[in-house]
Structure 1
Amino acid sequence: METKVISRHIDRLFLDPNNYRFIDSKEYHKVDEVDISDPRIQQKTFNLLVGKNNDNVSDLITSFKANGILKLDPIQVKTLDDNFLVIEGNRRTAALKFLYSEFKKGNNVGKLTLESFKSIEVVSISGDNPIQHLITMGLHHISGKRKWSPVNQAQLIKDLKYIHGMQEEDICNSLSISKHNLRRNIRVLALIERYKNSDFGDQFEPNMYSLFEEIIKKTEIKSWLGWDDNKLEPTILENEEKLFSWISREEFVDDEGEENQQIIIKEPIITKSHEIRDLSKIITDKKAIDHMERSRNITAGFTFSDAIGETRLHNAIDIIRKETQVAFQFSEYMIERDFITIATLRDKLDKLLPSSRSLISNTERLSQNYFDQINSHFSKIEIYNYRRLENITIEKLSKINIFVGSNNYGKTSFIEAIYLLSQMNNINGFIEVEQYRGKFYNDFHSRWIDRNFTPISIQGDFNSANTSLSISRSVSEDEDIDKLNYISSISFDAEVGDESFNSIVNLYTNREPELYYSKSHSLCYATFTSPFRHNPKLVKNAHAKAIREKYFQDIMDFIRSFLDPNIEKVEMVNIEGDSRFQVSSLKHDNVIDITKYGEGLQRIFEIALLIGYSQNGIICIDEIDSGIHKSLLIDFTEFVQTISKRFNVQVFMTTHSKECIDAFIENTCDNEDLTAYILSDRDGEINCKHVEGKRLERLVENLNLDIR
């Protein structure tokens, strides 16, 4: 193909009546080349190009008047007898022809002159290879900025492949399109051609292309049609006919006797591409499709579908979850009517939970302490099996016991095991640990226990008595159990000296667990606290005891002395049914919720309360130094040792901070009551080595030993 730039009069440039721009027009009919120059054909082509009131070329008319004819993008032509046929630039040529007629009438044409129309610079393309002409147009109107409608683009691609025999790869390279785009265009056009040949074909409009494109995109609908990508046709013709009817107007005869018969026209059920996406989700749901056809409404069918109902339910639950969090964040702005609304919503949500009976909750069932008097606490503990801990003996336990090690070395597991042993067959202790482990703030499903359970076996010496706890899973053979909804049973077997205490929990999918025990016993009072776990009910009970037994002031004295001298008091205040700790300070005119203070103050406040609450028992403190500034550690560790001695509480704590160990050594308390346990991981096996207080003191002072 050769090209050269030439200048010709506007009257020698003929518009192309077979331009792909016209293919989607109902007025389009292919014109033989010998008839192209016919004045009637040229006038009709001109009318199609400029549109009513020149709307299709108004932008070009304005531009030509203002700027003249720019040479940046010349018109491309090929010879047609003694004249030239426009290959690319038909719209610009039509605009210039209109302006030339205006010029001849003496009307204003801006910067254009007679010379402008007599000598229009064009690019003449020689050669009769039609493929080159098609590609030239395709580059402008498929890959370029001035795109044709999708139908016209698809038609050119189809002609290149099937009429002119181009290979797919060559078409893609020539037009800079992907093979996926090419094949999809051909499939869509094939479906459109089938629609045009159907009973509804006269209703086709170019803007319907997106409907057919979405149909071809949706594998569910293609499968329902039995669409064959090779033959470009469906194999289930009755479904194709249904589909065409849904996107078309239909005429019905209102049969009320021959004299009163009326033709009723019903609008299409589907008119937008997003409705095809909805259709794909219910296409195999006969009930939903029938409902859609009866109502002539895609939304009605969509909402009638069971599958869609499930999807909408999950979407609704997701929205509830997200928006509930927002409501929590801004709950301080709630007023009376908001509380009423929330209560109503809560009742509705309760009705959505028929399986809520299968939830496990940490109830207020009281467990009796086995020992009336505590002369000594744990002196030795053997963990045979608890999570990653196997066959580990912890000896020479003292009043203050610190478990030290890096993350994932089982520090928390150690103190959990000790806490469980102290709870014996008190099922609530086990539920509390599982609740914390699973990060459940409230109730959790029975299946969590069954799915994550591993056997537990722990033994120890407490108050000069041998104690043991075994927790195992079993399957009950009781004939009275609802076998259909039964999951499994968890058995608790505890011993203190010669006495045994047993409990069992039967887990179900559809109702609350069944608990069986003759007596629920704990060894002593025990609490568990962690910066990652919060038990507001426990802290409130601890506060009540501190007030009742008059040691709360000691806690406040420490806070004022070492944290904030401006704090006057901390009180439990009931705010619209919710009990909160409120702080009065010399710095503020109003009381402030304790959560507005730093993590250090909150942590110290909680630990101090729980030590007093655990009187004559034990307390397990995970990451004791978390949130507490290192400058406070010496005074705080001394405070912990002092009040634990006052209330006869054995303390088990974890840390990975050397500064925390240093603080216990450097405070003024007797280190005879201090033992550290260094945890290590050797080839996946956790080891525990103890270092007594005096030896630990020498190691830290003389060698600056980092025992993490």
Structure 2
Amino acid sequence: MVNQINKGTPISVPLEKLFLDPNNYRFIDNSNYVRINNVEILSERIQKRTRNFIQGKGIDGIRDLVKSFKKNGYLHVDQVQVEKINDESYRVLEGNRRIATLKYLKEQYIDSQDIGNLKQELFDNVPVIVYDSGDTVSHSIIMGLKHINGNKKWPPLNQAQLLKDLRENENLSEDDIVDSLGIGKLKLRKSLRALKLIDLYKNSDYGDQFSTPMYAIFEETVNKPNIREWLEWDTINDSPISNYRLDRFFTWISAVQEDYNYDDDDDDNSNDYEIVDPIISKSSEIRDLADFIQDDKAVKAMEEYRSVSQGLILSDVVSKNKLDGSIDVIDQQLSITSRFIQYSEESHVESLTVIKDKIDSILLNKKGASISINSPYERHKYYSHRNNQYSLIEIFKYKKLQNIKLEHLNRVNIFAGKNNSGKSSVLEAIYLLTRQNDIYSLLDLYKRRGKLNSLSATWFEKQLTEEISLSGIFESNNTSVEIFTEDEDENDEIDKSNYLKTLLIESKFNDQELTTKYLLQDQGKSKSFFKKIQIICDSYLSSPFSQQNKENLSLLYSKSVEDKSINKIIDFIKINIDNNINDINYVDDLDIPRFLVDHKNFEESVDLSTFGEGVQRIFYIALNFAAAKNGILLIDELDNAIHYSLLIKFTEFIQNLSEEFNVQVFISSHSGECINAFIENEYKNESLSFYSINTEDVMNQKINYFPGKDYEKFHSVLGADLRNI
């Protein structure tokens, strides 16, 4: 047990005889810190450097104390603790910020600056507590009580260093430390292990990358038994044994160099390389890593795609554990349900029926019925705010479109042509270019194109017959997307029993290149591989069938409520279609997302689907704008189900929303009335671009451009044929 702590001797000391401690624990996480020996403490150079550490940039590190001293004077709330260096000099052990503040204010006073209510007499008589210079244990314990278990805690790294010094330099036992500081033994051991791992990291090839925020990563690492086991942790020496695995782990938390070899016939046979970000940059990712660290396949996937999420999602162990857990919860809840089933009402029966259908669907998917198209991954955006838009799009290959160049793109771009001329394909190509390497958007597009409730792997494989090649210029940035298929070699380490095909998406935005690899497999075993999903901006594709896609309804509605466009949409419908509508609200009743209409002629709210298709179409199209804010909206067959008498008002409404939410709009239509409406609404024709599509002749495919002001020329080219389709 530690001896009773020395309480020290109170005296008063002139400020100039108090020297700041250059080895204070608060400095050890400063990149410029080096330990100073006792001989150098009195050096003017060392004292100046120490003051700079404490004061920070300007006086940010002591600004609060400067204000307090000026307003309240010097309050004896916390004692300044010192030890004697010689007969006239004292090293500050506790209270370095207060002494640094007094030194700053003394200079201000000498320079005739205002020091407020602080008494200048204090500079000659600073009250301190003197400790014996050899009693370092008492001093360390006092600091620990305040900065580890007290109300003025240091950052975790600084706390850990003090605990290490007590254990190794002062030779205190674990029991002595935890009893003296009132901390748990687990915290002590975790701190010492973390510092030991940090020391190993600092001595590795990556040691120059260590920074204070990384401490949380090391602390979380040593706190996870699964990771310690994987590192082959020696419980006797309390450190990892496997140098190979330790170095491998260090590559995960470090920025590393990836080499790219030139072709063999390159003259200098040199190497080029790229510095890539760490796989793990925060402690929460260590917690995820611990779930699959023993799954070698998942670890390799994490390393290949430099993504913890990729390892987590591909881990059979994690997936099985989650499935086991969810099934246990279902079993427990069903047991509770069975005990209270006698109280069930009709609504409960309906809910249970929906649950039964979900379970049936899960069992069906187990047999390989469908591909999952819902992404569990975050979509990163190149742009969230913008002033410009696409200025050029080139469709080299997409379905029957080849070598199509779209120039003079505007705020609103309208593509006209006969049925099956390729209008929808143009919009789909723009959508895929905007979604870059987002495999899940591609899967959803095929599902909607096929008007399917679910996407079958075998059906999807049959659609992958042609390559897709797209490029464009977005806000002066060159971008491209290539989508193609290949067959895996027989020696590749994949399960060939259900393997169908490999789909590759290669996207490029300026110098950033990303690849998504999708192993298309039957029996619900398809898997995607990528470092991250990166899209250009938010984008939505609305078609006469997209309102059946329930997945986005909640997002579209919440964005419309957040940006208050929902009120404008409802007002438009009330003024132009049905003034008896009071409100339209989104509900997820019985897990079936839908919209309910509050109507004056009905006692209870009724489903939106009971109204005409035109009302539904207008509502769903307009709902997209808030979600596509600062992005792209593509509207296929705008005129579908909308009465021609509404088109002039609705097209103007679309143009208004596109400006309000800064959305670039691409529209297709084969209706002459719809196209005329954009001109007849007389709203900013200069913001319109018209394109006529002629793809009947495969050898002479072309799209003609007409600016809004030249609509008459456009109209004459389209002629009566378009209007009579």
TM-score by length of 2: 0.49
1:504 aligned partner: 517
Is 1:604 paired with 2:613?
Answer: no
| Pair 1:427-2:439 in alignment | yes
Aligned to 1:688, the other structure's residue is in SS state strand
CA distance in 1, matches of 2:501, 2:654: 42
Mapped pair 1:412 → 2:424:
yes
* Residues 208-233 of structure 1: per-residue CA shift (max 9 Å, x gap): xxxxxxxxxxxxxxxxxxxxxxxxxx
Q: Specify the alignment match of 1:322 in structure 2.
A: none
Aligned to 1:72: none
Query: Of 532, 535, 551, which residue of structure 1 is paired with 2:545?
Result: 532
Q: Are 1:358 and 1:507, in contact at CA under 8 Å, matched by a contact in 2?
A: no
- Structure 1 residues 364 and 528, CA, compared in 2 at 3 Å: closer, same or farther? farther
Q: CA shift at 1:459, angstroms? A: 0.5
CA displacement, residues 157-181 of structure 1 (integer Å, 9 cap, x when unaligned) = xxxxxxxxxxxxxxxxxxxxxxxxx
Query: Could you list the per-position Cα deviations for residues 650-698 of structure 1 after superposition, in whole angstroms to 9, with x for gaps in the alignment?
Result: 1111100000111000113111111111112343454211111100146
Aligned residue in 2 for 1:519: 532
The answer as to whether partners of 2:368 and 2:522 remain within 8 angstroms in 1 is no
SS at match of 2:446: helix
Contact 1:362–1:431 under 8 Å retained in 2:
no
Q: Is the 8 A contact 2:438 2:533 kept in 1?
A: yes
1:73 is matched with none
Matched, 1:449 2:499: no
- The TM-score with structure 1 as length reference comes to 0.50
- Distance in 2 (CA, whole Å) between partners of 1:510 and 1:346 is 18
Relative to structure 1, the CA distance from residue 481 to residue 556 in structure 2 (aligned partners, 3 Å threshold; closer, same or farther) is same
Partner of 1:695: 710
Q: Match of 1:651?
A: 665
Over 3 Å counting, the alpha-carbon distance change for 1:702 and 1:487 in structure 2 is closer
Structure 1 segments unaligned to the other structure (5+ residues): 1-332
Q: Please tell me whether residue 571 in structure 1 is matched to residue 585 in structure 2.
A: yes
Shift of 1:575: 2.6
Matched letter for residue 687 of structure 1? K
Contact persistence 1:360–1:445 (CA under 8 A): no
Contact 1:434 1:449 in 2 (8 A): yes
CA contact (8 A) 1:360 1:512 kept: no
Report the counterpart of residue 440 of structure 1 in structure 2. 452
1:663 to 674, 677, 685: 677
**Do residues 365 (structure 1) and 380 (structure 2) align?**
no
Q: Give the secondary structure class of the aligned counterpart of 2:367.
A: helix
- Structure 2: which 5+ residue stretches go unaligned? 1-344
* Cα contact 1:671–1:697 (8 A) shared by 2: no
> 1:626 maps to which residue?
640
Query: Residue 495 of structure 1 aligns with which residue?
Result: 508
Partners of 1:411 and 1:703 lie apart in 2 by 14
Mapped to 2, the partners of 1:349 and 1:623 lie a distance apart of 32
- Aligned match for 1:553, one of 567, 571, 575: 567
Once residues 705 and 566 of structure 1 are traced to their aligned partners in structure 2, the CA distance between those partners, rounded to angstroms, is 38
1 CA distance for matches of 2:405 and 2:513? 23
The aligned residue for residue 594 of structure 2 is 580
In structure 2, the residue matched to 1:486 is 499
* 8 A Cα contact 2:350 2:590, kept in partner: no
Question: SS where residue 544 of structure 2 aligns?
Answer: coil
The amino acid that maps onto 1:447 is T
Tell me the CA shift for residue 438 of structure 1. Answer: 1.9
In structure 2, the residue corresponding to 1:576 is in which secondary structure?
helix
TM-fit CA distance, 1:448: 2.2
- Aligned mates of 1:544, 1:344 — CA distance in 2: 29
Residues 1:349 and 1:428: Cα distance change in structure 2 (over 3 Å):
closer
Change (3 A) 1:535 1:338: closer
Residue 467 of structure 2 aligns with an amino acid whose one-letter code is P
Which deviations, in whole Å up to 9, do the C-alpha atoms of 1:520-544 show, x marking residues without a partner? 1000000011112322221321111
* Aligned-partner Cα distance in 1 for 2:669–2:403: 22
Secondary structure of the equivalent of 2:603?
coil
Distance in 1, Cα, partners of 2:365 & 2:441 = 26
Q: Structure 1 pair 706/474, CA: closer, same or farther in 2 (3 Å)?
A: same
Hey, what's the Cα distance between the residues in 2 that align with 1:385 and 1:548? 39
Residue 487 of structure 2 aligns to which amino acid in structure 1?
Answer: V
Structure 1 residues 558 and 348: alpha-carbon distance in aligned structure 2, compared to 1, 3 A threshold: closer
Deviation at 1:370, TM superposition (A): 1.1
Residues 357 and 512, structure 1, Cα contact 8 Å, conserved in 2: no
Q: Deviations over 1:74-107 (max 9, x none)?
A: xxxxxxxxxxxxxxxxxxxxxxxxxxxxxxxxxx
Paired positions, count: 375
Match of 1:479, SS state, is: coil
Task: Give the deviation of 1:353 after TM superposition.
Answer: 4.9
Q: Secondary structure at the match of 2:515?
A: strand
RMSD: 2.4
Percent identical across equivalent pairs? 34
Task: Check 1:479–1:702 CA distance in 2 against 1; reply closer, same or farther (3 A cut).
Answer: closer
Contact 1:678 1:688 in 2 (8 A): yes
